Amino acid sequence: MKHSTRFVLGISAMAVATGLVLSGCSSSSPTTTSSDGGLTPVTLQLQWLAQAQFAGYYAAVSQGYYKDEGLDVTIKEAGADTVPIKSVASGDADYAISWVPKVLGSIEQGVNVTDVAQIFERSGTTQISFKDKNITTAADLKGKKVGSWGFGNEWELFAGMQKAGIDTTSGIKLVQQAFDMKGFLAGDIDAAQAMTYNEYAQVLETVNPDTGKLYTPDDLNVINWNDEGTAMLQDAIWADTEKLKDDAYDAQTVKFIKASIKGWVYVRDNPTEAASIVTAAGSTLGTSHQLWMTNEVNKLIWPSTAGIGEIIPSAWDQTVDIAKATKNDTGQTIVTATPPDTAYSNEYVDKALKELKDENVDVMGASWTPTTVELKEGGK
């Protein structure tokens, strides 16, 4: 069940996934800091392989930010059978990166974890179509061939269509989208799922047979779920709820968040260097694709509304409301009840942000602007 942007795994009858997968990557050994005396060993479980989606953590290793906080961090890449959040619950990892809606399902199933830093403030999930399909809003999906990866990646799409008044059981032709963009490019799908930092770029890296040149943004319409009001929170740092009661793990969590945020600030201010750090860590994505991903991931973080990592209650509530009310093509919702108060906490990120502000680190990025990335054929 591999996916070009997400590692997917169903949980019980809900088939709610935990993790992410990206194509163009091959397995490589985990990135590990050297074991220096006096440093506390810490393991971070990713959702998939080394790539710019996780650039901040690799930058924190490369630039020594974790060591500055007394941590010896090992970054574990995910495999096809890895469930990141369960790695925390089982004690195989101290922290994990995963999407909020996917973890909410795990929490309802009994996994006791807490979102301690919401790194991505915005969703990177979109629905794209060629201009001649005249699909510009969720309402325009009615009667169309709509692609969906499923496996827990479909919720924003279904929430958007249902909000637009579309009967998702009969008002569209749902197409099981493969974990690539071949069906879309072949015309088998009118509107396809695409992450801003990966599948969208895959289309723009492809030659348009009608022109002999690469497709451009002018060839496409994009439905952005942030604009449609059905965006859900994605990449967050998750910790073990019970262990957070321990003073040592509590303090370690603040240090880990602080160093991770410094890593993401580095990525914001040094995108080209950050992309190179991820490549050096083992990613096999092409140079232009890696830089594109770095730039697009930055857009999901910066500018920050309340400081990078801060969990905005309204965004959390929107994610929970969609998780409770939206039904997918199987008639399932992500959760049946509101998650416990321990599902998220700003306590730890607030402490980290205060320390960073005291050190004059810009945690808001108010003046940040994206760079212009020229994609090459195949992302080379």
**What's the rounded Cα separation, in Å, for the pair 329 and 39?**
49
Half-sphere exposure of 170 (CA within 13 A, CB side): 0
pLDDT of residue 34: 37
Q: How many domains does the chain have?
A: 2
**Domain of 81, in residue numbers:** 12-121+233-379
Is it true that the peptide bond before 271 is cis, omega within 30 degrees of 0? no
337: exposed, middle or buried (Cβ count in 10 Å: 0-12, 13-18, 19+): exposed
Kindly state whether residues 99 and 112 are assigned to the same domain.
yes
267, 328 contact by CB (below 8 A): no
Tell me, yes or no, whether 7 lies in a domain: no
Give the N- to C-terminal CA distance of the chain in Å, as an integer. Answer: 26
Number of H helices, E strands in the chain: 13, 13
- Residue 6 in any domain: the answer is no
Six token digits for residue 120: 């991505």
The predicted structure's pLDDT at residue 35:
46
At a CB cut-off of 8 Å and minimum separation 6, what does 173 contact? 143, 144, 145, 146
Are 109 and 258 part of one and the same domain? Answer: yes
89 with 144, same domain: the answer is: no
Q: Which residues contact 228 (CB under 8 A, 6 or more apart)?
A: 137, 138, 160, 163, 164
CA distance 43 to 96: 9
pLDDT of the residue at 151: 86
| Burial state string for 249-285 with b = 16 or more CB within 10 A and e = fewer than 16 | eeebbbbbbbbbbbbbbbbbebbeebbbbbbebbbeb
Q: Which of 182, 203, 228 is the last residue of a domain?
A: 228
User: Given this model, what pLDDT does residue 323 score?
Assistant: 98
Report if residue 282 sits inside a domain: yes
User: Do 154 and 88 belong together in one domain?
Assistant: no
| pLDDT mean by block of 10 residues, the chain; 380 residues | 36 32 31 61 95 98 98 91 90 97 96 98 98 98 97 95 97 94 97 97 97 98 98 98 98 98 98 98 96 98 98 98 97 97 98 98 98 97
Pairing of β 173-176 and β 145-148: parallel
Q: Are residues 153 and 73 in the same domain?
A: no
> Which pLDDT value is given to residue 14?
33
Are 104 and 219 part of one and the same domain?
no
130 shares a domain with 115: no
Domain boundary among 228, 246, 280: 228
What's the CATH code of the domain at 188? 3.40.190.10
> Which pLDDT score is estimated for 36?
54
